[in-house]
Amino acid sequence: MFSIPLGSLVPEYIKKFEPYVPSKPDQELMKMYGCERLYRLNNNENPLGPPPASQEIIRQLWPPKAGIYPSGDIYYMRYRLAEKFNMHPDQFLFGNGANEVIAFVIKAFCQEGDNIITADKTFAVYEWVATFSGFEARLVPLRDFGFDDAGMLDQIDERTKILFVCNPNNPTGTYWNEDTLRNFLDVIGGRQIVVVDEAYCEFVEKEDYPDGMKLVEEYPNLVVFRTFSKMYGLAGLRIGYLAGNLEVVDIIRRTCVVYSVNTVAQDTALAAIDDDDHVRRTRDLVRTEKAYLNAELDLLGLETQSGEGCYIMIKLPMSDTLAYRKLMSEGVMIRSMTGFRFPNWIRVSIGKHEAMEAFADALRKILAR
């Protein structure tokens, strides 16, 4: 048998990179932790699931369709989005979840020695993809739980290619209003690509929250990310996209993996995109349950960070990874925040009332021990 010379084959930046370990399937975790039911409140999934029309497509799936390649460039969906946002179909690019389009953008613009800029406590995948691709990720500390626009601008140098802004931010729920975003884009003046990740935009009801799609025409260096994993409940099918200036998207398309979005994902997303009632019902649920949970957390005297989005951050008087294990034993799965550089904080996704009650009860129990 050959011995593989991994020491010389593997780049240094890969050796240093720590792979992400996803959680085991629910059934395995329930066996391990000895619980009979498990409320998943760790991934900000929509408790209502996909809209009804999407659910019907899944139920009616014609099995032979699984043997046929999907549309390689997500044809119908792009045309539908173009109509919806009054843009050209070629201004959209899809990926196997928004995670994949992050990689497309970084690959398209960065080369050896380049850097990207984002926040230190935000969605981790911008930093990960840059790092395991061999590029520097410059991390600017949050200011009052929000992205620090001035701090990010200060970090720009001649090798900066992309700035990532998560709006609203996961996990803190803070957001830049339209004035802040416009000012940021004005100062940058088109010299770098600015990515605004709007994964949770459909949850935001604030008047001053900017719609990135409307700014693309005005700012050609702006790239907007959106996903069907959150509001549209299609996380298990993996479909997300980016939108931007025609020329910019044409460049990004060169790094894009075609056929990575499956047929069911395309069909269900197409059925979901116009379901405003689903959006309304989800917002109502999130608003109601967030208020309930915040009240419960107030009673427990816990510090919280509750902004936009379908999640709340809670500071605990114990290690968050210990809280994760104890809550798992009670049948509730949350996200520990050490990995987001928020030690002793947890993030809980907003779920149905039964799940929120179960979480509040479990939290009371573990804090009382």
Partner 1 sequence: MKNYMERTSLDARINPIFTALVTSFAEQSAKAFGLDHAGALKLTLACEEIFTYLCGIDKGDKPVTIEAKNGLYFVQVKILFDVAHFDPRAFNLTAKVSLDDESGLEDMGLLIASRSVDRFSINHDAREGTGVVLIKERTYPEITWAESTAVKPLKGFTITAPDPEALKLFAHQTVSTYSDNPYPPDFRFPGKLVDMVASGEYKALIATDNYGAIGGGVIWRWRIARKKIVECAGPYIFGQPPESGIAEKLMDALIGAIAKTEAICLINEYASPELPKQYFEPLGLVDYYGPDGTFVPWCLYYRLLKEDVGSQVWAHPELEDFLKIQYKSLSFARKIVLTSYGGEARPPHSVFASQFVRTQRVVTLRPVWDGIDVSVNLSRHVQILKNEDIQTIFLEIDLGHAWQANLVPALRENGFTPRLILPYAGRADIVVFQYREGM
Give the C-alpha separation, 194 to 116, whole Å.
Answer: 10
Q: Between vectors from CA 109 to CA 108 and to CA 110, what angle results, nearest 5°?
A: 110
Among 98, 242, 316, 350, binds partner 1 (CB under 8 A): 316
Minimal distance in Å, beta carbon 278 to partner 1? 31
> Do 235 and 49 contact (CB within 8 A), yes or no?
no
- The Cα-based distances of 244 to 98, 127, 187, 193, 362 in angstroms read 14, 21, 19, 10, 44
Site string for partner 1, 63-102 (x = CB under 8 A): ----------------------------------------
Nearest to 244 by CA among 352, 162, 360: 162
Q: Which stretch binds partner 1 (CB under 8 A): 26-34, 82-90, 186-194, 234-242?
A: 26-34
DSSP assignment of 82-99 equals: HHHHT--GGGEEEESSHH
172 binds partner 1 (CB under 8 A): no
> Do 119 and 141 contact (CB within 8 A), yes or no?
yes
319 binds partner 1 (CB under 8 A): yes
- What the block records as the tokens of 343 is 């030690």
CB neighbours (10 Å) of residue 120?
Answer: 16
23 binds partner 1 (CB under 8 A): yes
Minimal distance in Å, beta carbon 3 to partner 1? 10
HSE-up of residue 233 (Cα within 13 Å, Cβ side): 20
Q: Encode burial over 208-233: b for 16+ CB neighbours within 10 A, e otherwise.
A: ebbebbebbeebebbbbbbbbbbbbb
**Residues 114-143 close enough to bind partner 1 by CB under 8 A:** 120, 124, 127
- Comparing CB distances to partner 1, the nearer of 135 and 184 is 135
318 binds partner 1 (CB under 8 A): yes
Give the SS3 label for residue 276: helix
Q: Which stretch binds partner 1 (CB under 8 A): 80-88, 232-240, 263-271, 340-348?
A: 340-348
43 binds partner 1 (CB under 8 A): no
- Comparing CB distances to partner 1, the nearer of 23 and 183 is 23
188 binds partner 1 (CB under 8 A): no
Give the SS3 label for residue 193: strand
Minimal distance in Å, beta carbon 324 to partner 1? 5
Give the C-alpha separation, 155 to 151, whole Å.
Answer: 7
Among 132, 329, 357, 367, binds partner 1 (CB under 8 A): 329
- Comparing CB distances to partner 1, the nearer of 166 and 269 is 166
Among 73, 279, 341, 367, binds partner 1 (CB under 8 A): 341
321 binds partner 1 (CB under 8 A): yes
Minimal distance in Å, beta carbon 363 to partner 1? 14
349 binds partner 1 (CB under 8 A): no
364 binds partner 1 (CB under 8 A): no
- The Cα-based distances of 337 to 310, 342, 347 in angstroms read 16, 5, 7
Site of interaction with partner 1 (CB under 8 A): 18, 21, 23-24, 28-29, 31-34, 120, 124, 127, 316-319, 321-322, 324-326, 328-329, 335-336, 338-341, 343-344
